[in-house]
Amino acid sequence: MSLVTVFNTRVLPVVVLDDADLALPLAEALLEGGIDAMEITLRHACALDAIAKVRAGLEGMCVGAGTLTRPEDFSRVAAAGARFAVSPGLTPALAAAARASALPFIPGVMTPSEVIAAQEQGYSLLKLFPAGQVGGLAMLKALASPFAGVRFCPTGGVSAETLKLFLQQTNVAMVGGSWLTPADAIKSRDWKRVARLAREASDIAAGSA
């Protein structure tokens, strides 16, 4: 299944939560701002519950799981209701688990050799991570010619200020980032701020189409 058929946004919030009860209002704020997908990372024990709450409570939001690093993570996030999965890397075991789960999957890469390895596993949409540390825009431009059939979701080091430049790259399908859901805004339940940040990013994405 292509992620193109799963959600529309070109800006994917990377969400870290330590309280599952905050997941649904956060998702509602993102959707209000025009973003219809979110990646909830498996960095805290509540992540699976958070995914389940969004899947059950907000039909218009496509909730996925991030930071999958073990093969068994795929069955866990699928059971919670995740509609796609993202990893910071890729191993043969992860690729096999992804195929068995049938979840749309974005594996992570940071070198040309890793891009080739991902292509060998059948993947053409890849997470460039950590994008800022591996060269950012310059790296994406360098990868464009030798990997003409590959598109990327750069994540790590992307900000509201650089979003437009990343989205204008021909080999960028979408951009991932945590600036859309700041930890202090989540902690203070400032959903208006989250909705504003989402709207600003949505408007930039629409202007970069």
CA contacts within 13 A on the Cβ side of 147? 26
Q: Catalytic amino acids?
A: 39, 127
Task: Dig out the tokens for 103 from the structure.
Answer: 């979840």
Laid out side by side, the sheet with 11-15 consists of 105-106, 85-86, 62-66, 37-41, 11-15, 175-177
Closest CA relative to residue 135, chosen from 118, 151, 117, 157: 157
* Distance of alpha carbon 123 from alpha carbon 196, whole angstroms: 34
